[in-house]
A and B are shown apart, each in its own frame.
Chain A
Amino acid sequence: MGAETNFLDIKDVSTSFKINGKYYDAISHINLEVHRDEILAIVGESGCGKSTLATTIMGLHDPSETKISGEVNFEGTNLLTLDENGYNQFRGAKIGMIFQDPLSALNPLKRIEDQISEVMNYHTDFTAEQKHQRVLELLDQVGIVNPKRTAHQFPHELSGGMRQRVIIAIAIACKPDLIIADEPTTALDVTIQAQILDVLRDIQKENHAGIILITHDLGVVAETADRVAVMYAGQIVEDGSAEQIFDKPKHPYTRSLLRSMPQLDKEDDELYVIKGNVPSLQKMPSTGDRFAPRIPWIPADVHEKEPVMHEVEAGHNVRCTCYQSFSFPDEMGGATA
């Protein structure tokens, strides 16, 4: 932590998609700050809107199919007011993005070198030779053993881990201040995952970048994040430091998620299952606590009518006051955690 400035400040951002002529909120009223030198993890299950948030910051949505409101203030500019040209000055230069599926995210017909140097074509005035040197330097930095050889290869000739390193090299080529990593290790083996996360951390230290790490893997979050925002059904339901979220989780959803994880130090026979399903975009309730249907044993009057974030501790916020009276069914009657 130790923030210098709020260099990314997301204010009341909502993004809605057009489905059969009507707009539905994929994320609603998101407020987040990201600082330099920190890793902010956004966790949640599929459909919670975490990737939508990332692509909203990057401005990658088709404006004819999407409505976006709010402000994304980045280093003093509200990105949402920019046109395509203006946005391109930020993309790749000051904001780098790392995508999930490393095979499909690379152009199958272009050599690795061309795909990395492409980003420099638009944001630097490097000569061809400088670009070539930088490509080799980047490949080395992300831990590729033989940069010269890899630079000359095509994506299909690389392993999944190497492709992911290439994607990272592209994202960091112009030393961006902000890196958005969308599930950067999901498709990878655990040993590779650990290495990739190390690379990310090293880069961050070197460039003093801020990183938004989007993942569904709580283990990855616990190992890497400084701060955590938990998303459910398009909203942030809890945010705080990694310690606060993992050691003193408050929101019922955060607690349920942590409980449904197979723990390495426990051999419980039954895992905790969250009742019901994540509502689909079209069926998202517009009022009330969106998580309430998943904890039906908690009386309705405990939830706020319009749940808002409450600060429970410095830097630790929880949506809705229902957490105060929440306990799991098997703890009912006993002391609440």
Chain B
Amino acid sequence: MSLVEIKNLKVHYPIRSGFFNRITDSVNAVDGISFNIEAGETYGLVGESGSGKSTTGKSVVGLEKVTSGSIMYKGKDITKKANRKSLDYNHDVQMIFQDSLSSLNPRKRIEDIIAEPLRNFEHLDKDSEKLRVLQLLDIVGLDADALYKYPHQFSGGQRQRIGVARAVATNPKLIIADEPVSALDLSVQAQVLNFMKKIQREFNISYLFISHDLGVVRHMCNNIAIMNNGRLVEIGTRDDIYNHPMHIYTKRLLAAIPETNVSQRAEHRAQRLAVEEVYREQQDKYYDKDGLAYPLVQITPTHSVALPEALAEQLKHEGEVQA
């Protein structure tokens, strides 16, 4: 059984208008998506800004009011508040944010920031709490003198590690990481990513890794879902997505990643422009009449793509021929 099963999740925001402020329309931030996160894996959720990936993340952690659909955890639907309470869900699921400075209370010392989830859930005595905080600091590679400092006294990478320490304080099963490294410099990013992998190995934590950076996602994630306008356009393993992408949107995203191979710059650009061309011309083939993605069709046991059956069959066939 999967750790978390998301089924047909929808988050719609009402648009009110008219004299009596009645709901006249809605923004479908998340529009019926389903995927499973296995224990101990890193699941990548990729999409451009406005795709609904962050809303999905917030729904999974219970910060967003879900319109319909279910998120099953230990056999219970945690979109209901009562279930979250009875399962101690907020203890098991934590979140890491993109902006580490604004997500840490500037007036609290690091000791209190990291101890906060412990105080909420574990109720340790003073000494063992301190011991635990020191252990956590050690895990994230910060010295004990960090205890009495304030967030602004740290660099971006250190703050992000403090955010991680706070998230792992309660030994969670799942961490939602929303763009955890996109504000960081390359060398600091490497540090945080390495560290996330390390604690995953040690504590068997699952990540829902939300990012727009396909390079980072490829490095981190076993399974990946590509999100576009509130719907999933393609899900599959790392190999499925990067080596056998089927949806034009996935292809377009992949083609846009800048490559560091200078000598093949021209070819890469030509290839990107070719994909852009196809994307422009064949949009109506890949999207329904409202411009939204079709329901997912299974291609292989691991690989699904949002296409009409016929087109999916055709592309699958072409892919086999090529292989």
Is there any pair of Cβ atoms, one from A and one from B, under 8 angstroms apart in the complex?
yes
In the bound complex, residues from chain A placing their C-beta under 8 Å from that of B260 are 218-219, 222, 246, 258, 261, 263
Given A219-B260, A223-B259, check contact A264 B242 (CB 8 Å). yes
- Expressed in whole angstroms, the Cα–Cα distance for A262 and B49 within the complex equals 22
Interface string of A269-292 (1 = CB under 8 A from B): 111111001000000000000000
Given A190-B212, A243-B262, A264-B259, verify A273-B253 contact (CB < 8 Å): no
Set of chain A residues within 8 Å of B238, measured between Cβ atoms: 267
Q: Chain A residues near B190: list those with CB within 8 A.
A: 260-262, 271-274
Interface string of A38-69 (1 = CB under 8 A from B): 00000001100000000000000000000000
Binding site of B, secondary structure by majority: helix, strand, loop or mixed?
helix
Q: Convert B222-240 into 0s and 1s, putting 1 for each residue whose CB lies closer than 8 angstroms to a CB of A.
A: 0000000000000000100
In the complex, whether B67 has a CB less than 8 A from a CB of chain A is no
Interface of chain A residues 143 through 170 with chain B (CB within 8 A) = 160
* Residue from B48, B187, B213, B262 in contact with A274 in the complex, judged by beta carbons closer than 8 Å: B187
B166 at the interface (CB under 8 A from A): no
Q: Name B256's contact: one of A193, A246, A274 (CB within 8 Å).
A: A193
Q: Does B269 contact A (CB under 8 A)?
A: yes
Write the nearest CB–CB distance from A161 to chain B, whole angstroms.
9
Residues of chain B lying within 8 A (CB to CB) of residue A218: 186, 260
Which residue of B215, B259, B265 is within 8 Å of A262 (Cβ)?
Answer: B215
Cβ of A42 to closest chain B Cβ, rounded Å: 15
Is A19 interfacial (CB-CB < 8 Å)?
A: no
Q: Among the listed stretches B26-34, B57-65, B124-132, B191-199, which one makes contact with chain A, having 4 or more residues with CB under 8 Å of it? A: B191-199
* Min distance, Cβ A187 to any Cβ of chain B, angstroms: 9
Instruction: Enumerate chain A interface residues (CB-CB to B < 8 A).
Output: 45-46, 160, 189-194, 216-220, 222-223, 242-243, 246-247, 256-258, 260-264, 267-274, 277
Which B residues are closer than 8 A to A by beta carbons?
48-49, 155-156, 185-191, 193-194, 197, 212-216, 218-219, 238, 242, 252-253, 256-263, 265, 268-269, 272
The 7 A-B residue pairs whose C-beta atoms are closest, nearest first, are: A219-B258, A262-B219, A271-B190, A45-B185, A260-B190, A189-B48, A274-B187
